[in-house]
Structure 1
Amino acid sequence: MNVTDAGRAWRLRSHRAEDLPLDRPLMSWIRGDRVAVRDGERVLTYDRLGEEARRIAGLLAEAGVGPGSVVMVGGRRGGMLVPAFLAIELLGAVYLPCDASWPARRVESTLIRTDAAVVLTVDDDPDGSPEVVAGAAAAGRPLLRAGDAANAWEGEARLGDPRAPRYVLFTSGSTGAPKGAVVEHRGMLNHLFSKVRDLGLGPDDVVAQTAPLGFDISIWQLLAPLLAGGQVVVVGDETVADPEALAAVVRREGVTVLELVPAMLRLLLDVTAEAPPALRWLMATGEELPPRLARRCLARLPGVGLMNAYGPTECSDDVTHHVVTAGDLVLRHLPVGTPVANTDLYVLAPEGDRWRACGPGEAGELFVGGAGVGRGYLDEHDRTREAFFRDPFGAADGRVYRTGDAVRMLGPGGPLQYLGRVDRQVKVSGVRIEPGEVEAALRAHPEVSDCAVVARE
């Protein structure tokens, strides 16, 4: 990309956290007899978590999974998700989550596009995920069940290059086909440690895992507490969808960190009379947090920090954090914050065939650089070239990602204020949706000659 006077481009640069061990495997933190994972049916200590991970790794290795292999993980969310992820990391393979809402046809097409080696289900009920089972059969992929794992894998964690791919998440695509964003190990760890630092996570923290597997935030909810010796409580989909049941779980399980999309947060406040005693942080992400809703949070839950977060899947999830204060509520759009560790943010505006830096208060498009920027889209070179570029501002081997989001800096040092999209992409309950993808699906119907899709409030 061409940038006018790139050396002087306005930059929001985070602190360089050189002490973050971005080249270590997650398994190096998994030891001890403290409780690590709970899901209402099982309790896994750190030692037991490591044992389960090695058993699942043994099951995968027997099926031929090795470094670089893609493993689809599907089924109803539960505590076995965590050892499943760790097992895939142990083998140097790539995690590919399959959302429980996916129909068999999408499971099949995703398996074929990624050339996934196997499908691993984490259901306690053998018949709990018929769509996953049907999709695996249609794609001709072996179906393994985490509960069948027996023989532990005895090898060392095959991390190798910290820039190796760690997971692939599919996002909506404007051409009609979802895009597989590839995230590296070091980018994932950089984001996990950013959550640990900015939330002050420690051994006494209990993080609620509430996000569907297809959401990027599911990754940090499952893994970040483990880096701090804390606990993960996996909350099932039915409970997350029921505000009263969710509020009861937050109280009963002593949840200290809860993250929700604003649409669900609004429903939770409707049934919450006072702050749960253990809750320290409430996080809003996935879509814009309205000032009116933030005002309700601050008034209803005094003493609970409200963090607004922003980030694209392509950059290992959140790239900014912002603690909302009463002073922010006068703004039409709440700030999304300043960059997390090892992250650079650039606000640029098109100028002919080049880009120029925007000053404070001037709206522009956000570009992200730093450790979290992913590899691009899986086997989609044209789409990757449209969104990922060599970093013209920093390291020679660095990349920047063009987000498509309009922002402005509220001052020379930030924070950023999110203003909306520069294209047609919309978000519904935190889900990225390209109207073009919906249009393409509709036009594929033999009785539809043409169509137009718009988002209506």
Structure 2
Amino acid sequence: MTIADGLLGLAELPRLPISPQEVERARALAARRPHPADLADAVITLVERVAAGDGDRPAVADDARRLTYAELAAEARRLATLLEREGAGPGTVVAVGGERGAAVIAAFLAIELIGAVYVPADGTWPAARVAEVLTRAGAVLLLDTGRESVTPALAEGARGAGVRLVRAAEAAGLPRWSGPARLDGPDQPRYMLFTSGSTGRPKGAVVEHQGMLNHLHAKVVDLDMTASDTVAQTAPLGFDISIWQMLCPLVVGGRVRVVGDATAYDSVAFARLIGAEAVTIVELVPTMVRLLLDDLATALTTGPLSDTAATRETATPEPVTPATGLLGGLRWMLATGEELPTEVARRWLREMPHAGLVNAYGPTECSDDVTHHTVTPADLELLRLPIGTPVINTDLYVLRRDDDGWHACEPGETGELFVGGVCVGRGYAGDHDRTREAFFQDPFAGTPTGRLYRTGDAVRALPRGALQYLGRVDRQVKIAGVRMELGEIEAVLQRHPSVGAVAVVVQDFAILHRH
């Protein structure tokens, strides 16, 4: 059985109830950004291209080891041999678990080589969650990338799902898998990520190769990324941003610095690493951006950075800020996963004037970010910051629904955001009902996927074309960047025999504390 067996075909998707006249209006009002991009290569092919010309070039580093491009390519091919020996192949799903690190990146490239589909199983998850993800994904095996011993939650989860557990360490000494990457076409499923579901069951969103690669190119284009850049890989494996953080620098010959949890959750230690490792691009949820600014401001005056700060203040008449020290080499900070507060953006522009701030937005189902917006001082006059304009090869439509169907919104009108273009994924694996609720046949454009995704987000177009996020139209929330359906939490609590009825609401802790 392959992943294609659990996915709906285009003809099986519903048609959007919209009149021909409104289709034409929506086309005229759509935000589009066509851009030529070669989506035919596999990432491993691009890695090996760099390795062939400059094999000693640094590719990936984590807290334990550093790999050159030649070493990364070799490790990926040995892992591909191991995976194929264990029964993985084209269209099968391979789960990868353990701590994020160089081995996970090599494993992704190995999965790409043999034409399989990647799904993460984070070693910090409870065993029951691991088992559910493995079962719903239809994984043929679970690759544990742990360096020393089997991760307990992964081992228990694999047993619960009846899935074979394989250690990545077993690839040492194996011959390298030969041949080019098995890429049957741009619409080949490439990875699956699980999002929250309102029924208590997570949804496995499947992203195609063309969507993933287009998003990598979008980051390269909008961030002017080159081989001199180093990206911090901070996201947990279950987050969609982990994909671009792991792969995007490799597309241009740059470097990935995988940051362990101990450092990622310590703002001062993280800032020190950014400076010491010459990290140029970071993406965090706005909550973490705020904490980074708060903790560095405190450390510069009363904490471990105070002596260094005093020395720098004596040497220069300029005010001492984190920008003049540890983060001086940072080029970009991307904020995503939750709404970026204007006050956080104001502080960033004031304290980090050398590093651009990008407000990014996008759903997992559409290959991650579908809009980028570089925040400017003028944006700070708005109550809510723009989420921006579409990334390359992405079509955005703002529609509102009446009794007679969907209608296109004029600039300034509030509507629901729909996404078309190569970024739109294949739906939810093995979940046809929820796929039909969110995915439609695209009536507006002959896009490569032919699909349209309904985000469930309320937006409006600003006068200059950028979109402004206004909230959800359903009960989904984001807490510290984690996408949650309140209904899923209710469904889990309802399973307890002592619970008769349950209602989950979100309450701001600061309000509770004041009262």
Sort the TM-score into its range (normalised by shorter chain). over 0.9
TM-aligned CA deviation for residue 130 of structure 1: 0.8
**1:210–1:218 CA contact under 8 A, matched in 2:** yes
Q: 1:132 aligns with which of 154, 159, 162?
A: 154
**2:328–2:354 CA contact under 8 A, matched in 1:** no
Tell whether 2:384 aligns with 1:360.
no
Q: Which residue matches 1:12?
A: 30
**1:258–1:281 CA contact under 8 A, matched in 2:** yes
Q: Which residue matches 2:166?
A: 144
What is the alpha-carbon distance in structure 1 between the residues aligned to residue 207 and residue 220 of structure 2? 19
Once the two structures are superposed, what CA deviation does each residue of 1:400-449 show, in whole Å capped at 9, x if it has no partner? 100000000002x5100000000110000000000000000000000001
TM-aligned CA deviation for residue 325 of structure 1: 0.4
TM-aligned CA deviation for residue 162 of structure 1: 1.2
What is the alpha-carbon distance in structure 2 between the residues aligned to residue 98 and residue 216 of structure 1? 13
What is the alpha-carbon distance in structure 1 between the residues aligned to residue 121 and residue 149 of structure 2? 16
TM-aligned CA deviation for residue 101 of structure 1: 2.6
Q: Which residue matches 1:408?
A: 460
Q: Secondary structure at the match of 1:44?
A: strand
**2:398–2:418 CA contact under 8 A, matched in 1:** yes
* Amino acid in the other structure paired with 1:330: E
Tell whether 2:489 aligns with 1:438.
yes
Q: State the identity as a percent.
A: 57
Q: Secondary structure at the match of 1:138?
A: helix
When the two chains are superposed, the root-mean-square deviation of aligned CA atoms in Å is 1.1
**1:12–1:338 CA contact under 8 A, matched in 2:** no
Q: Return 5+ residue gaps in structure 1 as ranges.
A: none
Tell whether 2:39 aligns with 1:22.
yes
Tell whether 2:349 aligns with 1:298.
yes
**1:59–1:151 CA contact under 8 A, matched in 2:** no
Post-superposition, which runs of at least 4 consecutive aligned residues in structure 1 deviate over 6 A? none
**1:314–1:374 CA contact under 8 A, matched in 2:** yes
**1:37–1:44 CA contact under 8 A, matched in 2:** yes
TM alignment of 1:6-155, pairs within 5 A: 6-9=23-26, 10-18=28-36, 20-30=37-47, 31=51, 32=54, 33-127=56-150, 129-149=151-171, 150-155=174-179
What is the alpha-carbon distance in structure 2 between the residues aligned to residue 177 and residue 59 of structure 1? 32
Q: 2:322 aligns with which of 262, 274, 296?
A: 274
Q: 2:239 aligns with which of 212, 215, 218?
A: 215
**2:29–2:410 CA contact under 8 A, matched in 1:** no
* Amino acid in the other structure paired with 1:183: V
**1:119–1:144 CA contact under 8 A, matched in 2:** yes
1:353–1:101 Cα change, 3 Å: farther
* Amino acid in the other structure paired with 2:483: R
What is the alpha-carbon distance in structure 2 between the residues aligned to residue 428 and residue 390 of structure 1? 31
Q: Which residue matches 1:158?
A: 182
Once the two structures are superposed, what CA deviation does each residue of 1:349-401 show, in whole Å capped at 9, x if it has no partner? 00214100000011100000000000001111110111000111111761110
Deviates more, 1:418-427 or 1:263-272: 263-272
TM-aligned CA deviation for residue 307 of structure 1: 0.3
- Give the structure with higher Rg (CA): 2
**1:262–1:288 CA contact under 8 A, matched in 2:** yes
What is the alpha-carbon distance in structure 2 between the residues aligned to residue 360 and residue 77 of structure 1? 42
* Amino acid in the other structure paired with 1:325: T
What is the alpha-carbon distance in structure 2 between the residues aligned to residue 101 and residue 347 of structure 1? 38
**1:11–1:346 CA contact under 8 A, matched in 2:** yes
Q: Which residue matches 2:192?
A: 168
Q: Secondary structure at the match of 1:107?
A: helix
**2:31–2:465 CA contact under 8 A, matched in 1:** no
Deviates more, 1:2-11 or 1:254-263: 2-11
What is the alpha-carbon distance in structure 1 between the residues aligned to residue 345 and residue 148 of structure 2? 40
Q: Which residue matches 1:452?
A: 503
Q: Secondary structure at the match of 2:346?
A: helix
What is the alpha-carbon distance in structure 1 between the residues aligned to residue 155 and residue 446 of structure 2? 45
Q: Return 5+ residue gaps in structure 2 as ranges.
A: 1-15, 297-320, 509-515
TM-aligned CA deviation for residue 195 of structure 1: 0.3
What is the alpha-carbon distance in structure 1 between the residues aligned to residue 388 and residue 243 of structure 2? 21
Q: Which residue matches 1:343?
A: 394
Once the two structures are superposed, what CA deviation does each residue of 1:199-235 show, in whole Å capped at 9, x if it has no partner? 0110110000000001000000000001111000000
TM-aligned CA deviation for residue 11 of structure 1: 3.5
Deviates more, 1:151-160 or 1:444-453: 151-160
* Amino acid in the other structure paired with 1:115: G
What is the alpha-carbon distance in structure 1 between the residues aligned to residue 291 and residue 436 of structure 2? 40
Deviates more, 1:260-269 or 1:395-404: 395-404
Q: Which residue matches 2:339?
A: 288
Q: Secondary structure at the match of 1:117?
A: strand
TM-aligned CA deviation for residue 98 of structure 1: 1.1
TM-aligned CA deviation for residue 81 of structure 1: 1.2
* Amino acid in the other structure paired with 1:109: E
User: When you count helix as a share of all residues, which structure comes out higher?
Assistant: 2
What is the alpha-carbon distance in structure 2 between the residues aligned to residue 59 and residue 11 of structure 1? 51
What is the alpha-carbon distance in structure 2 between the residues aligned to residue 304 and residue 278 of structure 1? 8
Once the two structures are superposed, what CA deviation does each residue of 1:328-361 show, in whole Å capped at 9, x if it has no partner? 0111110000000000000000021410000001
What is the alpha-carbon distance in structure 2 between the residues aligned to residue 50 and residue 71 of structure 1? 19
TM-aligned CA deviation for residue 236 of structure 1: 0.6
TM-aligned CA deviation for residue 277 of structure 1: 1.9
